[in-house]
Structure 1
Amino acid sequence: FIHDCPLHPATYHCARLAAGSAVEVALAVARGQARSGAAIIRPPGHHAESGLALGFCLFNNAAVAARAAQREAGVQRVLIVDWDIHHGNGTQPLAAL
């Protein structure tokens, strides 16, 4: 489950807050409650894969938020821009699901 992802007693709580923040922003935009939004959060999440924490990422926040927008707000397509110095290996396979 965890590779290259050191844990602290507060890691799970912080990772859930980060993913939840991304979900709240995505749902607000999808439901028309906000014109745009950004979740400035840590940990970033883009290396986490389904069932596998990688690269200091426990949950893949972008993938979690995208799925929430699709399931809870009826969004059909989501654009994820992974702006980082290296490839977000976790986001690509999750976005293909």
Structure 2
Amino acid sequence: MVRSYWVYILTNRRNGTLYIGVTNNLARRVWEHRQKVVPGFTQKYNLTRLVYFEETTDVRSAIAREKQLKGWLRAKKVALIEGMNPQWRDLYGDTTP
């Protein structure tokens, strides 16, 4: 069975705080962020809008990509988001559980 892993970016508004994470169930993880199930950074800054995600079948690649994105300057992260989602729409409805 092939598994999927997602690297994703959350924000609270356009040009707001960004959070980058990795998960094996994007819909569940975004729901957890929205419900504030796990205390921490996303809860503190109310980061609930999914503005970017990418999928891979290799967990090591997903973790490496997460680390790569976290190391980028903000301008490069914004360009990545705007390349996929120029309006910074909430993509949560575009995910599948």
Report the TM-score when normalising by structure 1.
0.22
* Greater strand fraction, Structure 1 or Structure 2: 2
Give me the TM-score of the superposition, normalised by structure 2.
0.22
